[in-house]
Structure 1
């Protein structure tokens, strides 16, 4: 240790070229970590056979929901499941349209419960819209054969797709519907559209007095949905299809509003049959939502409305009959109870992520062992165990360490502790078991860092 460059935590333990897991933090969308302490996580959802299941995970901020969600996502076999990941950025899109439909603004929502009227229908609209959009965006990458589908069923499915599609590219919709309805043929040079192919732009030009009532009917119906994208190009394409296939009378007699559960059922069945994959909806990231956490303060009424919408009886009945799987990763918030909203907890279980001092220390030892395994052979010393590293036998230190409650807090603490020990490295003979001063300073600074990070991430 005579070389000054070795008087550094990472150099001393031979991990200067490794990702020091204790010195990193993850965001809600980050799935890069390879440090998965499975023994502290619900074992029933991390099965060896890569099977999906329906459940709710509840955990306070920093307890490992993101890591668990990432690991669960990885275990699902892509040959068997269509994985539909829904994070805060997707959810916000639908919530903002819902709020706009109520003619509220962001300032109003900062002081009121803007989601108090958000129901199971809105949540089902969100699910179906994202499922449709994912299907259309991935259609060109798949080889799907649509056989034995009556034209009436095709028109019903195309109507669902045109209403619920949330993408910006109408050309992707056109590509699908023309293939679905047999309106183009494949040539040696690619795809050739026939003269009868459906194009939104062509429909827009050809709108006449005769078909305006139908277009008005479709627009009025779509506008009644509080969460859906109102891109009129979708309806121009749908109008062309309805007229081209001769379904004007049937279409003007019916509405889509009020039938989202039926349509979610039908479209999920369509995917399962023709893609031979069962949809798996994975919801995470609502910790960060600005409408559930206005001004970084939890709006319990909005949170509970969103919670309950996702586990309403109509939606859970579809999970129990295997139309799709629904996996929810939600923050645990004092004063909000969603367990009584779940009609069959035996079929839709809830797991709560909890940590105690013993499990946290076991987690820390697990990380140190992983770092040891990949450390450089030129290191000065191997890691021992967490308690030795932080000098836990000192009662003053033990009292401080025992106040750490979650893996996130442990990470923040270790980041500061390493900094503190590096500052003292030139002035001590015995390097890198921590001193009481190191631990106390690190704990106090990490506590402020934790709350600052918490606020920045909702």
Structure 2
């Protein structure tokens, strides 16, 4: 699964060297790879190699994507049963994808704020109110206290004491704003609520708006705030907030997206909804978003599944600036990979009573032409791994009935291949 990064065996020759650079730098690109070819392995290694001192790494997986898609679908008043039979994301656009990016970026920033020492110097109050408005609209966390902690520090409303943080009498609290809502400020709150509700993907927690209302009134920005809306300006706000992070955290945001092929709305009942998938994919590489990567506001690295019948690469308007990488395997590269893994295992064998095999072909008795014909049909590293799981079961079961234990028989290989093929068919 895309959220699992526990593999310790990294076969580097098969992975694109332009992604895993020697200087461990980030880049913007898309990797289009069939299921089981190492896409997630590559993403895990790429994520780990990026220097946390230079980059704010923003990982977006299936569980994050689902959160925003479900709100989008709910805004259309559709249910999951309807979406199982229809293309519920056909209207999903670059604006929705940008909302997802900005919301996850804001949330990660707020959740990590208490662990960092950021100095906010020379930011005019007008700019601070604009940034706080972005944060309150786009924050996707459950804890309003984290928002309060940030905005009060950002606006200079508390001082640090020897025993911790002490809030002043003028500190902003969502609960205080909720209690003090009066007829005078209801129009502004209604305006904020109506504006936020127009967003199809964002968390509608009203506590965020109570906090924002308190700040706007406390800083004297009621008139300006009721005159403007945030809807329709997500690209501007994504630009502004990314620039804010780069300048004050001294880190460039890096968005890393994986797990698209696991999403229940893009792949209902393990059947790809091609219209929804293509809409979602095209939103992620739309011209408005890619223009920001080219201007170095952030990096965008997408690990996308390759799906037959969907031409997604033509959506990239500047392929020279946003390159595409593929992961391809043939029998030779698979055997080299298998030998690499086997050598890792042989290190364990040397410390036990087990005998180390010299190479992969010896283990599977590849000299037998009938066996070789079966082995050559294995298409990907993942299929090879599942094949070995089944092969071990068969070889262990038959160890007492063969002349040379743990040299595969034709029957071992045949049964393991058939079981593995059935597993891949179901998957």
Shorter chain as denominator, the TM-score bin is over 0.9
Aligned partner (choices 87, 91, 94) of residue 61 of structure 2? 87
SS in structure 1 at match of 2:114: helix
Counterpart in 2 of 1:172? 146
Moved segments of 4+, more than 6 Å: none
Hey, what's the Cα distance between the residues in 2 that align with 1:428 and 1:121? 63
- What is the aligned partner in structure 1 of residue 113 from structure 2? 139
Alpha-carbon deviation of 1:373?
A: 2.4
SS for the counterpart of 1:228 is: coil
1:358 corresponds in structure 2 to 332
Q: Structure 1 residue 237 and structure 2 residue 211: aligned?
A: yes
Question: Is 2:388 aligned against 1:414?
Answer: yes
Relative distance call for 1:378 and 1:206 in structure 2 (3 A) is closer
SS in 2 for 1:44: coil
Alignment of 1:263-412 (within 5 A): 263-412=237-386
Secondary structure at the counterpart of residue 357 of structure 2: coil
* 2:59 counterpart SS class: strand
Paired residue secondary structure (2:32)? strand
Matching residue of 1:61: 35
Residues in 2 aligned to 1:187 and 1:316: alpha-carbon distance in whole angstroms: 45
1:369 match: secondary structure: helix
Q: TM-score normalized by structure 1?
A: 0.92
2:197 maps to 223
Structure 1 residue 405: Cα displacement: 0.1
Which digits, 9 at most, give the CA deviation of each residue in 1:317-372, with x for residues without a partner? 00001000000001000111121111110110011111111111110000001111
In structure 2, what is the equivalent of residue 76 of structure 1? 50
Q: Trace 1:421-432 onto structure 2 (pairs within 5 A).
A: 421-432=395-406
1:436 maps to 410
TM-score by length of 2: 0.99
Structure 2 residue 3 is the aligned partner of structure 1 residue 29: yes
Identify the residue that residue 6 of structure 1 maps to in structure 2.
none
Taking the TM superposition and a 5 Å limit, the aligned residue runs for 1:166-205 are 166-205=140-179
Deviates more, 1:349-358 or 1:250-259: 349-358
Residues 168-177 or 384-393, more deviating: 384-393
* Matched residue SS, 1:443: helix
- 1:258 to 2:256 alignment: no
Unmatched runs of 5 consecutive residues or more in structure 1: 1-26
Aligned equivalents of 1:315, 1:379: Cα separation in 2 = 57
Counterpart contact for 2:350–2:356, Cα < 8 Å: no
Q: Which has the higher contact order (CA 8 A, sep 6+)?
A: 1
Query: Cα RMSD over matched residues?
Result: 0.8
Match of 2:223 among 249, 261, 265: 249
Query: Would you say the 8 A contact 2:34–2:307 is kept in 1?
Result: yes
Structure 1 pair 428–264 and aligned structure 2 pair: CA distance change class (3 A)? same
Counterpart CA distance in 1 for 2:61 and 2:259 is 5
Distance 2:48 2:370 in 1: 42
Separation in 2, partners of 1:160, 1:411: 46
Q: What's the counterpart of residue 7 of structure 1?
A: none
Distance 1:332 1:348 in 2: 17
Q: Does residue 114 of the first structure (1) align with residue 88 of the second (2)?
A: yes
Gaps of 5+ in 2: none
Q: Secondary structure at the match of 2:77?
A: coil
Contact kept in structure 1, 2:349 and 2:355, CA below 8 Å:
no
Alignment partners' CA distance in 1, 2:195 and 2:351: 69
Q: What is the rounded CA distance, in whole Å, between the counterparts of 1:272 and 1:378 in structure 2?
A: 52
CA offsets, 1:21-56, max 9 Å, x none? xxxxxx221111111111011110001101000000
* Greater shift in the superposed pair: 32-41 or 238-247: 32-41
DSSP-derived class of the 1:83 partner: strand
Give the aligned partner of residue 102 of structure 1: 76
Tell me, in whole angstroms, the C-alpha distance in 2 between the residues paired with 1:158 and 1:89.
26
* CA displacement 1:364-387 (0-9 Å, x = unmatched): 000001111233433341121111
Of 183, 189, 209, the residue aligned with 2:183 is 209
Q: Aligned pairs, how many?
A: 427
